[in-house]
Chain A
Amino acid sequence: GAVVSQHPSRVICKSGTSVKIECRSLDFQATTMFWYRQFPKKSLMLMATSNEGSKATYEQGVEKDKFLINHASLTLSTLTVTSAHPEDSSFYICSARDASSFEQFFGPGTRLTVL
């Protein structure tokens, strides 16, 4: 089946630093990728939709200057959390939409802890 990877799986950083999370579709092309955030014992909240070669579309309430998204190729999207603060600590999950089947596949998630 289709595989989506995320790197890193866990990251701990100091407040004020930036962290980049990668989302890769390993065996299919994804024109669209999605970034979600999941708080403990809560549902997934869609942050933004990332389309290859164009600007991401952010959901209401998500700061685009804080959560920078780049989708430079059909297999890679990155989320950069800039000037991270403890309240940014969360589980970030990406999904990739297969360009041919339109099915979505989820990555395993990245646990971000900001000290």
Chain B
Amino acid sequence: AQSVTQLDSHVSVSEGTPVLLRCNYSSSYSPSLFWYVQHPNKGLQLLLKYTSAATLVKGINGFEAEFKKSETSFHLTKPSAHMSDAAEYFCVVSEPANQAGTALIFGKGTTLSVSS
């Protein structure tokens, strides 16, 4: 069975400093991995996804993540935090996309706080 572990429930950074949100996964298959962001009282927005192509995935708003099979990790990074990045971030795993009916499995989430 697939699962994801987000290693930090809360991360605080200063504006302009780097962001690192950690995620480890467990999967019996070659996984598809995603990062979603949820701003307060808003819906989920896809930041980026890995589906067995390039291991370094670039997403929206300057975020990127690197798939490391040897470490079973998919950490999310951003070189310079912005106040608008403050939100809840979810690491998500899925079975390969060609298996119909498979749901996304969400991590518990990491709250990112950005101070000025």
Chain A residues within 8 Å of B, Cβ to Cβ: 31-32, 34, 36, 41-46, 49, 51, 57, 93, 95, 97, 101-104, 106-109
Chain B residues within 8 Å of A, Cβ to Cβ: 36, 42-44, 90, 94, 97-98, 100-101, 103-109, 111
- Chain B neighbourhood of A44, CB < 8 A: 44, 90, 106
Beta-carbon contact of B100 and A107 below 8 Å: no
- Chain A neighbourhood of B109, CB < 8 A: 42-43
> Could you jot down 19 A-B contacts, CB within 8 Å?
A32-B101, A41-B111, A42-B108, A42-B109, A43-B106, A43-B107, A43-B108, A43-B109, A44-B44, A45-B106, A46-B104, A49-B103, A102-B98, A104-B94, A106-B43, A106-B44, A107-B43, A108-B43, A109-B43
Beta-carbon contact of A43 and B44 below 8 Å: no
State the majority secondary structure of interface residues on B: loop
State the majority secondary structure of interface residues on A: strand
Closest to B36 in A: A106
- Chain A neighbourhood of B108, CB < 8 A: 42-43
